[in-house]
Structure 1
Amino acid sequence: MQNGTHYRTCHLCEAMCGVAIEVEDGKIASIKGDEQDPLSQGHICPKAVALQDLHEDTERLRKPIRKTADGWQEMSWDEAFDLVAERLTDVRKRHGRNSIGVYLGNPNVHNHGTLMTTMPFLHAIGTQNRFSATSNDQLPHMLASLEMFGHQILFPIPDIDNTDLFICIGGNPMASNGSLMTVPDVRGRIKALKQRGGKLVVIDPRRTETAKLADQFHFVRPGTDALLLMAMVHTLFAENLVNAGAAERLVKDMGLLRLAALGFSPESVAEPTGIAADDIRQLARDLANTRKAALYTRMGTSTQAFGATTTWLAYCLNILTGKLDIPGGVLFTQPAVDLVALGALSGQNGHFAKRHSRVRGLPEFAGEYPASTMADEMLTPGDGQIRAFVTVAGNPVLSNPNGQRLDEALEGLEFMVSVDYYLNETTRHADVILPPTAALERSHYDLIFSMFAVRNVAKYSEALFEPVADARHDWQILLELAHRLEKARKGGRLPLRSELGWKAFKALGPDPILDALLRTGPYGANLGKAGKLVQPALDLAIDSLPKRHPLKGLAKLSPLNRRWQELPKGLSLSLLKDYPSGVDLGPLQPSLPERLYTRDGKINLAPRRYLADVERLKALLEPGKANDLQLIGRRHVRSNNSWMHNSQRLVKGKSRCTLMMHPVDAETRGLTDGQQAEIGSGGRSVVLPVEVTEDIMPGVVSIPHGWGHHRPGTGQSTAAAHAGASINDVLNDADVDPVSGTSVLNGQVVSVKVWQTEAQLKQA
């Protein structure tokens, strides 16, 4: 690699921060923020410097390995591909296509090559037993977007740079740099919000890092956010504060929403939520009366028993108060590669509950079953039982509820293969591990998070380092496996046309496809003066096509669409290479009604599946058990899921894997700060040191997500030395939001007591 400064996007979380990486003698000398990056403007968090650790990690796998009686052994790529294709094909022939399961982890969405090759790979496997991190994360947001706006990834994004009131419920962007809101330098943006006279309101069971910057903070009991939001809706109707503004003519079924909220007065929800009725009313009034305002919810409201209904109500509140599709409110992005429009053009808006899982009858979403039922599908005999499993960049043993049960399930499989460059808590169960190149050894473009950014930007990064000899990128691994599986399914030979297609795909790779998408997107070809002259004729030709003609759809996506006339033009891969810090494509802009994908062109304010959940919600109004402790997760700015813990600089210092507990709850149970406590539920338990703090609500305890590196047989020594305990070893995988199938990761009831060693127990 050439010495000097190289500009890139950090891929370790959703923020898309620009980094300037200094290379000397072929090695990384420093990593700093890129001040020319139009989105992050020089900001980076502590994770960015760990890019070097991950790249140079000597424990990162670089060649395929297989499990033998004598331990792990290296093998050639051809041997590995042959073995995997042979074993998967054999399982499929003997047990049927659904006997193979697939799990896709979060890092895949940071990799445009993997995104482009995932569908051919899944098609070649042919299974319906597909899972991903979605159902442990953002599924309620996707469901609400599908039901209300007609597309599963059309998310309303807070215009935080222009808002005067930002209400954050169940999110901690100071630690996450935003989530489904790509927003680097949250601290700087909150500071700017306050300087222009704006206000930050945070509502959470924990006084988070974001809450400590808030002008107003309220504790809320876990799992009751839907009550709070329903009471805010009630207040808007009761006080005649409803004004949908720009979206007024697009909204339908407002009356049904008003009726649903009738039984949820602020007084009725005050006790179960822990928020005073007057405060609830004032929140609703402030949201309604502040012209530029945005209400944002995230993980705490998403991964809970009422995750779907809570997310729906958050969307409704923004709409009812006229905050949808206005600057300073919540708007839809217009990315350079518009996956929303491309998906809709091919009929892939998303779907829900077209089928249900074999064992528990949980609904699929976009072709995936909830991850919480993976172990069921492996352990329960019968037609369709998963007997072989594929993981791609995922560690569900630590990220999925009841990780110990999933451990058991994975151990009993006939065959397992993992595409991963770490021997971790999940991949240790594999028979073969296929390690891809590291992120700095491949090109990068954020297809997904550009769609969620608080400003429209585009940035491409070339590979920083040459991979080691005979290495494979993720997309090459997936394509090769897909090709061999397709051949095996077709009796060992494919038609010439199909064979040529596979070879062309392998030869081209993802970047030429990315270039074509950029050139034909809204910021693509620059038609100049000639374009303005012929535009009327182009409009007439497009309008004259039948409504569902494919050319009409393509024209709407292309620079030929009059709607894109005012946007910057000339975007291509070569142009992005000339601007390695990225290109600013402008602020978020109003885009309705064109951006809607519902059949009738209306915003569905009262989808029936949410209305049907109102009766279940009413049960929360009944008094709960006073002595119950509810468990919630948390995140730290230095940690992003389990795969970040093999970096010494990110895990050094005081342990962050503690049990946060309010002083009153600790005293009641005879616990003191630093003392070891046993946290249990349903026969499952972990042991952690107590962190006594008033930053957490009484009746609530918190364990961070992603730890639990004590399991034997892994190959991450730094992570093992800072093992911590997994919150998912306590959580019950049978506990899901019945509306969406999302795992309940926040709000499950647990017991906490002083931990005693076996010797102490015997002595007692």
Structure 2
Amino acid sequence: MKSETSKVDQSITVNYRTCPLCEATCGLEIHTKGQEVVHIKGDKLDPFSRGYLCPKGYSLKELHSDPDRLTKPLIRRGENWQEASWEEAFSEIRMKLRPIIENDGKHAVGVYLGNPIVHNLGLMLYMPMFLRSLGTKNIFSASTLDQIPKQLSSEFMFGSDSNLSIPDIDRTDYLVMIGANPLASNGSLMTAPNMRGRLKSLQERGGKFIVIDPVRTVTAKQADEHHFIRPGTDALFLFGMVHTFFAENLVNLGHLTDSVHGVEDIEKVSRDFAPELVGPKCGIPAETIRSIARELATTPKAVVYGRMGTCTQQFGTMNSWLIDVINVLTGHLDSEGGVMFTNPATRRTQTKKARKPRYNRFQSAVRNLPEVLGELPTSSLAEEIESSGPGQIKAFISMAGNPALSAPNSERLNKALEKVEFMVSLDCYLNETTRHADVILPAPSPLERSHYDITFYSLAIRNIAHYSPAVFDLPKEHKDEWETLLHLTAAISDQEIKGDITQTVDDVMIKEIIKHEAKNENSPIYEKNVVEVMGLLNERRGPERLLDFYLRVGPYGDHFGKNPDGLTLAVLKDHPHGMDLGALQPRIKDSLQTPSGKIELAPSVLIADVDRLKETMNSHSDHFLLVGRRDLRSNNSWMHNLPVLVKGEDRCKLWLHPVDAKRIKLQAGDQALVQSRTGQIEVPVQITEDVMPGIVSLPHGWGHNLPGIRLHVAEQNAGSNVNILTDEQVIDTVSGNAVLNGVPVRVEKAVDTSIGSVTTNALQEK
């Protein structure tokens, strides 16, 4: 069934769906003619985005027709790629992968899960089954390059990483934003289309928002106040506010008074972080820290929100924790206009069984880094491939990701990937990572598959549901990703599966899911007959069947007859512009899964890490500190292959403050040589007061100049890879998250425009 259509004329069809390219989930109105996309614009009837659209949404037209996008499986034969049938590809995978598993064990296979997976209904629903079947502990993902600190702190404090506190942006009157740039990112761990409009509305109703960031971002320029902060010192700033709350009797737990454990511990550890002590270190005056703390504590509807910049540094987990600590201490957690917890349509009913945090249940083989939420740090991936002995990664599977470009010390990781005995990639491009593969399994165009933002509706500032059927039928010779995963599951199985693999494995999986749900005494289908439930779902297959099940057992669902007017997939299909299920409501008691049944304000792991923070109070570096930056047209590296997103002025430039530029004799347009412990790059200079003195900034995702890729547009706009400079040995020691901000570097004028001609003159430090 196609999405709602209306005939503009006899040849143009209008389709409605949500954009799958970032977290904003904007509604699209897609005009098609036959198999061609004619035009894309924002869907004004979408109740969430109301017609807002950024350039990425329009780029779906070019992505769909991109000649570089892979449509057939590729098998490496020597130095060459050969197109193959799906049967040949899966046969090759089974023939090469099974012996490695049989000889070296399941942990000899490493898996990397890329960011686009969370934008893909089929992959989100079927990936857990594949990973369970594979059974390896060597699972890595983009989360440890981005957001795992926030997930881990929520696991510690609230009992689950799915309990992420979301800013109630539309109802708050005071917003402190740290290390976040939603006007460029479209929101992150905060699904909210048209953030510019929402922030403007906050100001128009008399509210105020403040940005704390080492870069004067596009968001900072709209703020009422912007304060530069020295990279890596966010935890000091946050502790300075916590200290102020206790010192000035501003703590007010409000309705959370009986739901919080550990307030006394927080008061004790905050004593050493008076604003007068931390201010000089982070670059923010003590009185400013105290003023912001007072305003937060005395404004009824207020919130602190932190994102990428707070996670991708050495104290990422501490930052994420302290942000929620502040929201709790000021009475703004689980409160209208503060931070709240979503109630998404696909939310499963909890068993109410408290569990221990999923942390440090096993360790990486080389550095003994702790497991976090079932995965290991991507910063350890190269060494786990290079090491010898038990646990060495000898086979590798990459899915919808490009770690060879996006992971720290990417040159080391590229060399490591050359050493794996067998590699499989599921991807739509031959890119910097998949060029190392032995088999590449293509992905369909986003317009050739159905869509439902099962992840981002769990992070939305309103409870939203929007199902989008495919705009175009998937060609018969192609496979959707969920089908590919089922075949991969069969390929790694110790027994060969006969017959229709897709139907057989799919039926087994959903039966197990229904059986598990029926055993939950709090579920609306508790003790319901599994066969009976299957019979009510069998008109659908694949992701649609699973989505229908999750919607029907969810909080708004029909509960398979118990709530006849409830939500089903059929109901959603009758609302092609999506459904607004209402504003967020207080629900902390339904969310908590900690062993104590309370908010754990002072997890022992994080309290113990405070000593590490104290050690930084007296540290000093003469290096420049490198930070990243976001751009509205550049979310993932593959977007650089779409002309509409790379046109215009070169955006891959090193931002440098005028004072620093004068001192090291650099002018706008010069080529700068930037060097760190791990490598060096050359990049053109842009001089601007939008960065703090002593700070340089580069965007991520560039560096498309490696041999063997097929990204013709990206190669013409190659840029420089910032992750040649980032260091895989420096991590947030609690979560293992990569440190991509606050990287010490040296900067000087390049002798020539190619690194090969640079002399060995001493590099000037800051």
TM-score over 0.5 for the pair: yes
- Given the alignment of the two structures, is residue 118 of structure 1 paired with residue 127 of structure 2, yes or no? yes
Among 573, 578, 583, the alignment partner of 2:574 is 578
Identify the residue that residue 664 of structure 2 maps to in structure 1: 669
**1:472 alignment partner in structure 2:** 479
Task: Tell me the equivalent position of 1:708.
Answer: 703
The answer to whether 1:654 aligns with 2:653 is no
* Distance apart, 1:252 and its partner CA: 1.0
Q: Which residue, 658, 665, 682 being the options, matches 2:677?
A: 682
Cα offsets for 1:108-135 (capped at 9, x unmatched):
0111111111122112222111111111
Equivalent position amino acid for 1:206 in 2: V
What residue is the counterpart of 2:453 in the other structure? Answer: 446
Shift, 1:86, TM fit? 1.6
In the superposition, relative to structure 1, how do residues 498 and 636 fare at CA in structure 2: closer, same or farther (>3 Å)? closer
Are 2:656 and 2:686, in contact at CA under 8 Å, matched by a contact in 1? yes
Deviation at 1:520, TM superposition (A): 1.7
- The residue number in structure 2 matching 1:513 is 546
Query: 1:148 is paired with a residue of what secondary structure?
Result: helix
Q: Secondary structure at the match of 1:690?
A: strand
Unaligned runs of 5+ in 2: 6-11, 511-539
1:127-169 deviation line (CA, Å, top 9, x unaligned): 1111111111111111111100001121110000000001100
**Alignment match, 2:87:** 78
2:437 is aligned to: 430
Corresponding position of 1:615: 611
Deviation at 1:601, TM superposition (A): 1.4
- Residue 593 of structure 1 aligns to a residue in which SS? helix
Q: In the alignment, residue 630 of structure 1 is paired with which amino acid?
A: L
Q: 3-state DSSP class of the match of 1:29?
A: strand
Q: Deviations over 1:476-506 (max 9, x none)?
A: 00101102322xx13x468999994556669
What SS is found at the alignment partner of 1:390?
strand
Matched AA of 1:398: L
Given residue 296 of structure 1, which amino acid in structure 2 is its aligned partner? Y
Matches within 5 A, 1:86-485: 86-338=95-347, 341=349, 351-485=358-492
Q: Is the Cα–Cα contact under 8 Å of residues 424 and 437 in structure 2 kept in the other structure?
A: yes
Deviation at 1:88, TM superposition (A): 0.9
Aligned partners of 2:398 and 2:424 also within 8 Å: yes
Question: Which residue matches 2:520?
Answer: none
1:243–1:74 CA distance, 2 compared to 1 (3 A): same
Distance in 1, Cα, partners of 2:79 & 2:310: 47
Secondary structure at 1:709 match in 2: coil
Q: Which residue of 2 aligns with 1:594?
A: 590
Range 634-643 or range 496-505, more displaced? 496-505
Instruction: Give the CA deviation at 1:376.
Output: 0.3
> What is the Cα deviation at residue 584 of structure 1?
0.6
Shift of 1:641: 1.8
Matched, 1:628 2:623: yes
Q: Distance in 1 between matches of 2:362 and 2:761?
A: 55
Partner residue of 1:637? 632
CA distance in 2, matches of 1:595, 1:30: 42
The secondary structure found in structure 1 opposite 2:218 is: coil
Task: Tell me if structure 1 keeps the 8 A contact 2:408–2:723.
Answer: yes
Aligned partner (choices 546, 558, 561) of residue 525 of structure 1: 558
- Are the aligned partners of 1:272 and 1:623 in contact in 2 as well (CA < 8 Å)? no
Cα distance in 1 for partners of 2:553, 2:102 equals 42
Aligned partner of 1:719 in structure 2 is 714
Separation in 2, partners of 1:226, 1:656: 30
Is contact 2:506-2:542 (8 Å) kept?
A: no
Relative distance call for 1:40 and 1:495 in structure 2 (3 A) is closer
Q: For residue 508 of structure 1, report the CA deviation from its aligned partner.
A: 2.1
Change (3 A) 1:196 1:297: same
Please give the alpha-carbon distance, in whole angstroms, between the structure 2 residues aligned to 1:281 and 1:108: 42
Distance apart, 1:27 and its partner CA: 1.5
Whole-Å separation in 1 of the counterparts to 2:757 and 2:324: 54
> Given that residues 515 and 572 in structure 1 are in contact (C-alpha distance below 8 angstroms), is that contact kept between their aligned partners in structure 2?
yes
* 1:67 to partner: Cα distance: 1.2
Give the CA deviation at 1:25. Answer: 3.6
Cα contact 2:354–2:595 (8 A) shared by 1: no
Count, aligned residues: 721
Cα deviation for residue 698 of structure 1 reads: 0.7
Q: Which aligned pairs between 1:713-752 and structure 2 lie closer than 5 A?
A: 713-752=708-747
Cα deviation digits, residues 351-404 of structure 1 (max 9, x gap): 011011000111111221001000000011111111110001000011100111
Which amino acid letter does the alignment assign opposite residue 55 of structure 2?
Answer: P
Do the aligned partners of residues 65 and 693 (structure 1) sit closer, same or farther apart at CA in structure 2, a change above 3 Å counting? same
Q: 2: distance between equivalents of 1:34 and 1:40?
A: 8
CA distance in 1, matches of 2:306, 2:684: 30
Contact 1:225–1:310 (CA under 8 A) maintained in structure 2: yes
Partner of 2:590, secondary structure, is coil
Aligned-partner Cα distance in 2 for 1:139–1:760: 38
SS at 2:411 equivalent: helix
The separation in 2 between residues aligned to 1:140 and 1:245, in whole angstroms, is 27
Asked if 1 retains the 8 angstrom alpha-carbon contact of 2:332 and 2:338, the reply is yes
Aligned to 1:460, what secondary structure does the other structure show? Answer: coil
TM-score with structure 1 length normalisation? Answer: 0.91
Q: Distance in 1 between matches of 2:675 and 2:699?
A: 15
Supply the AA of the counterpart residue of 2:691.
I
Task: Give CA deviations for 1:77-124 in whole Å, capped at 9, x if unaligned.
Answer: 001001112211011122221111100001001111111111221122
| C-alpha distance in 1 between matches for 2:68 and 2:27 | 27
AA of the residue aligned to 2:632 = V
Cα distance between partner residues in 1 of 2:344 and 2:353: 18
Deviations 1:38-83 (CA, angstroms, capped at 9, x unpaired)? 1111101111100111111011000001112351110110010011
Q: What is the CA-CA distance between 1:467 and the residue it aligns to?
A: 2.0
TM-score scaled by structure 2? 0.91
Distance 2:245 2:461 in 1: 27
SS of the aligned residue for 1:210 comes to helix
Q: Is the CA contact 2:490–2:497 (under 8 Å) kept in the aligned structure 1?
A: no
| Partner in structure 1 of residue 44 of structure 2 | 35
Post-superposition shift, 1:628?
1.8
Structure 1, residues 196-240: CA drift from partner, whole Å, max 9, x if none? 000010000000010000001100000000000001000000000
Task: Report the CA distance shift for 1:452/1:320 in structure 2 as closer, same or farther (over 3 A).
Answer: same
Indicate how the Cα distance of structure 1 residues 70 and 140 shifts in structure 2: closer, same or farther if over 3 A, else same: closer
User: Deviations along 1:331-364, whole A, 9 cap, x unmatched?
Assistant: 000000015x46x679888601101100011111
The 2-side partners of 1:644 and 1:348 are apart by 40
Q: For 1:374 and 1:400, how far apart are their aligned partners in 2? A: 9
* Greater mean deviation of Cα atoms: 420-429 or 505-514: 505-514
